[in-house]
């Protein structure tokens, strides 16, 4: 993993935060629809700056987050304490490939393509097995991910620029896909951030590469079976169901995949 973005949690938090209330309501509806027990304990792999962990805890769930970045973990720990949520949330250092919890969670949630940081099939299989180990039978794993188009060419390079401002800090972020490697299922992204921080009297810019898995729906279906998951449903960004037999590709944008840990036969 590359250096800067995930080692500057305050700036990440500002650049990537948005009102999460719609998403939280959607998760709570999914819990009711796809599990048959009361939702209490949620695992948040790669929780970053606690962007979603805090609202989930405020909603009333007990949330455990983990992240590979020490800075993100320290920042989120601080946020939990400041929010007075230490009785409802905790955060630890952990790697998606290996983090396993003895405690049995009711659900796990992994957002904004973060699972894309796992590139090889082996790492992905290990991740699904680890999540399955940490979930109770009948629990669900919600993964937000955008799948690629099979005919993706290197001419198609969507990029996205936005500005976020808070408390005298202004950040312009550009997320740009430089190239796709279809054969090796990799996506070469560049993240460019321009930071103007009046509070700290700092202005700087960085550009860093983020190499990620190029996900195809068929791979997702196959690899997510590890650990006994079945794909129960897919939703789009408007929280509308997408039929499981439809053509799942990049044109649909980021999608929420609902995986359920089934009872062993
Ligand atoms: C795009 S951010 C998402 C953070 C959070 N899930 C959110 O929704 O804001 C990606 C996060 O994944 C973490 N990360 C990357 N690879 C990881 C790994 N192998 N295990 C755990 N965390 C990882 C990074 O440190 C970063 O905090």
Helix (H, G, I), strand (E, B) or coil at 118: coil
Q: What are phi and psi of 22, to 5 degrees?
A: -60, -40
Which pLDDT belongs to residue 20? Answer: 92
DSSP string, 52-72: THHHHHHHT-EEEEEES-HHH
Pairing mode, if any, of strands 89-93 and 41-44?
Answer: unpaired
- Residue with structure tokens 């920042």? 75
5-148+215-261 folds as: Rossmann fold (3.40.50)
Going from the Cα of 263 to the center of ligand 1, the distance in angstroms, rounded, reads 29
> Which CATH number does the domain 159-213 belong to among 1.10.4160, 1.10.20, 2.20.25, 3.60.15?
2.20.25
Which pLDDT belongs to residue 154? Answer: 56
Contact at 8 Å (CB) between 111 and 141? no
pLDDT tens sequence across 57-97: 999 999 999 999 999 999 999 999 999 999 999 999 999 99
Contact at 8 Å (CB) between 154 and 214? no
**Pocket perturbation via mutation, ligand 1, pick of 44, 46, 55 by most ligand atoms within 8 A of CB:** 46
Residue 155 has pLDDT above 60, yes or no: no
Which pLDDT belongs to residue 157? Answer: 64
Residue nearest to atom 13 of ligand 1 (CA): 46
Residue nearest to atom 27 of ligand 1 (CA): 48
Radius of gyration of the CA atoms of the chain, in A: 18
Mark 135-154 as b/e (b = at least 16 C-beta within 10 Å). Answer: beeebbbbbbbbbbeeebee
* Ligand 1 atom with minimal separation from the 123 CA: 19
Give the Cα separation of 89 and 77 in Å (integer).
9
Q: Other CB atoms closer than 10 Å to residue 17's CB: what's the count?
A: 15
Helix (H, G, I), strand (E, B) or coil at 255: strand
Give the Cα separation of 18 and 227 in Å (integer).
32
- Ligand 1 shell residues, CB under 6 Å: 1, 6, 16, 46-48, 51-52, 67-69, 72, 95-97, 111-112, 114, 117
Residue nearest to atom 15 of ligand 1 (CA): 117
| Portions of the chain given CATH number 2.20.25 | 159-213
| Portions of the chain given CATH number 3.40.50.150 | 5-148+215-261
Residue nearest to atom 26 of ligand 1 (CA): 48
Helix (H, G, I), strand (E, B) or coil at 132: helix
pLDDT tens sequence across 213-258: 999 999 999 999 998 999 999 999 999 999 999 999 888 989 999 9
């Amino acid at each position: 993993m590359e250096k800067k973005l995930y080692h500057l949690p305050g700036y990440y938090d500002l650049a990537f935060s948005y009102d999460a209330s719609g998403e939280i309501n959607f998760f709570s509806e999914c819990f009711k629809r796809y599990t048959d027990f009361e939702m209490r304990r949620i695992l948040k792999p790669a929780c970053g700056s606690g962007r979603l962990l805090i609202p989930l805890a405020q909603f009333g769930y007990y949330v455990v987050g983990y992240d590979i970045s020490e800075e993100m973990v320290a920042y989120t720990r601080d946020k939990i304490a400041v929010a007075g949520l230490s009785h409802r949330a905790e955060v630890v250092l952990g790697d998606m490939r290996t983090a396993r919890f003895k405690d049995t969670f009711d659900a796990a949630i992994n957002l904004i393509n973060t699972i894309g940081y796992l590139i090889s099939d082996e790492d992905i299989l290990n991740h699904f097995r680890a999540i399955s180990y940490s979930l109770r039978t009948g629990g669900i794993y919600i993964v937000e991910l955008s799948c690629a188009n099979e005919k993706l060419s290197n001419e198609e390079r969507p990029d996205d620029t936005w500005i976020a401002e808070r408390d005298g800090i202004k950040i312009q972020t550009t997320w740009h896909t430089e190239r796709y490697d279809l054969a090796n299922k990799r996506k070469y992204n560049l993240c460019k951030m321009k930071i103007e921080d009046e509070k700290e009297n700092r202005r700087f810019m960085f550009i860093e590469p983020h190499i990620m898995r190029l996900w195809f729906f068929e791979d997702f279906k196959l690899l997510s079976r590890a650990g006994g998951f079945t794909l129960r449903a897919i939703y789009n960004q408007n929280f509308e169901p997408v039929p499981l037999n439809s053509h799942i590709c990049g044109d649909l944008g980021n999608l929420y995949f609902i995986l359920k840990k089934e009872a062993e036969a």
